Amino acid sequence: MGGGTWLFSEPQVQTRRLVDLAGLGWSPITVNDDGVELAATCTLEQASALSARLPTVRPQWLAAPLFRQCASALLASFKILHTATVGGNVCLSFPAGAMISLAAALAGEVVIWRADGDDYRMPITEFVTGDSTNALASGEVLRSVRLPAAALTGRTAYRKLAPSSRGRSGVVVIGRVDSAGEFTLSITAATVRPFVFQLAAADVDAVRRAHEGIPDDAWTRDPHGDPDWRRAMSLLLAEQIVAELR
């Protein structure tokens, strides 16, 4: 467990033993020329603070605002943000996972420790497989989330919709344009797993074609928004992002 904010929010009758990862003493955030590494035990509050820190230490990383934007998309009190962790948010694999949105938009990879002492990496888009499901195997531990410098240098645009002004995210759409003009669009919360499209440029027609490729059964169905609404709104927000980043 990381912060335990979800774990202790409801009965866990089948749980026999807990291992507190906070006792391992991992550095919450590592910033170097390769990018940013967020430890699984990094709190959402610490991750959010990078939006203020990075413009000073890495002014070329134009995507810095996304850290606060994504963290604030989470329906949570300041107490939860102070305790909840990046690893917990990713491993719960809820459609509205704030750190899943961040990692998907910034070409994030998860670093996973195996029980035999080996480790491996996996793109966040492959790690999250559905609503509350992921590729983490029994005995494995999510160690960190890595965000490459190449993605952090891109210009970004962020959009979120929820049934209420402070409600759980129903749709999160993020666009990123790199130095070569290539466009990356990520859709989360509206879908049961992250969908990321890499296009030659920020072009509305290309975005519409990519959006049409999302399967009907991939749209999230819960009290925070009907699938048809999520489909329509995600496209509308994607079109707004194209206009902003073009």
89 shares its domain with 188: no
Domain CATH for 100: 3.30.465.10
The answer as to whether 194 is a domain residue is: yes
**How many Cβ atoms from other residues are within 10 Å of residue 222's Cβ?**
15
Q: Provide mean pLDDT across the span 203-220.
A: 98
pLDDT digit string (tens) for 78-125? 666 767 899 999 999 999 999 999 999 999 999 999 989 899 999 999
Question: Could you tell me if residue 117 is inside a domain?
Answer: yes
Q: How far apart are CA 134 and CA 72, in angstroms?
A: 23
Domain range enclosing 66: 26-150
CB 27 within 8 Å of CB 42: no
Query: For residue 48, which phi and psi values (nearest 5 degrees)?
Result: -60, -35
> What tokens appear for 184 in the block?
């990356």
Please tell me what DSSP assigns to residue 225: B
Backbone angles phi, psi at 113, to 5 degrees: -90, 130
- CB half-sphere exposure, 94, CA atoms < 13 A: 19
Mean pLDDT of 228-237: 98
The model's pLDDT over 144-188, given as tens digits with 9 standing for 90+, comes to: 999 999 999 999 999 999 887 666 789 999 999 999 999 999 999
Max distance between CA atoms of the chain, in angstroms, equals 53
